[in-house]
Structure 1
Amino acid sequence: MALVERWSIVILDLDPVVGHEQAGQRRALVVSYEPFHRSGLATVCPITTRRTRYPGEVSIAAGTAGQTMDGVVLVHQVRTVDMRRVTASAIGGTARVLDDPRIRRDVRRALAHHLGLDLPAAADGAA
């Protein structure tokens, strides 16, 4: 099983789902660290093209990390998934790493806020 890097944008199959969970094949931002991925799991935030105006959404412009369209990281939909949900094409070389420090910072802040965690000032700018 290939491991993906933190901050990679991958394609997942999120079905089956229940209720208001994001469904189907979609892009997602990997927010967990590589050592965790050795367990066969990864924590991700789905990405959509439809802005829903929930607190904590983080925009990704087309062209960022090879994305062909604008997207919104749905931090409030954070979930841990089995790596078998990652499509083979994403692991096979199309997964792109999000290297924009502003977007990374915004995702970290949104995750901390969503989970009710204090984000230390030193970690605010960390990779």
Structure 2
Amino acid sequence: MNNLPSRGEIWLANLSPVRGREQAGFRPCLVISVDQFNHGPAELVIVVPITSKNKSIPLHVEISGRETGLDLTSYIKSEDVRSISRERLEKRIGRVSDEVMSQVLEVIKILLDIT
């Protein structure tokens, strides 16, 4: 990986190995952690996976493929927050708008009961 990830960017990441119902394999992920953390000595980023399957889950935030660098309309799985090594990031795909980023963070706040 030549470039450091930034908040709001979508990266292809290798999420395997996993357990249970966690998203596995090479998947697009939205970086949600702040850049001070993303570029820091921990060499970790906090991401949420993205899927192209619409399961009508209210926690998922829909995004346009055309506007984000993805091939299809996709869904950010806001309930699947995880910290991963930057080494799992394969390539930058695109980025989401500030509006989409705000929607994702609002869902996460609800999930974690953060006011």
- Give the RMSD, CA atoms, in angstroms: 1.3
- 1:54 equivalent to 2:57? Answer yes
Cα distance per residue 1:43-81 (max 9 Å; x no partner): 000000012233311000121122221100001011000
Higher helix share: 1
Give the distance between the partners of 2:78 and 2:52, measured in 1 at CA. Answer: 14
Where has structure 1 moved over 3 Å in runs of 4 or more?
Answer: none
Give the distance between the partners of 1:77 and 1:51, measured in 2 at CA. Answer: 15
Which one of 97, 116, 123 corresponds to residue 113 of structure 2?
Answer: 116
Higher strand share: 2
Give the alignment's TM-score, normalised by structure 1. 0.82
Structure 2: stretches of 5+ with no match in the other structure: none
Structure 1: stretches of 5+ with no match in the other structure: 119-127
| Structure label with greater radius of gyration | 1
- 1:19 equivalent to 2:20? Answer yes
Is 1:5–1:97's contact at 8 Å kept on the other side of the alignment? no
Give the alignment's TM-score, normalised by structure 2. 0.90
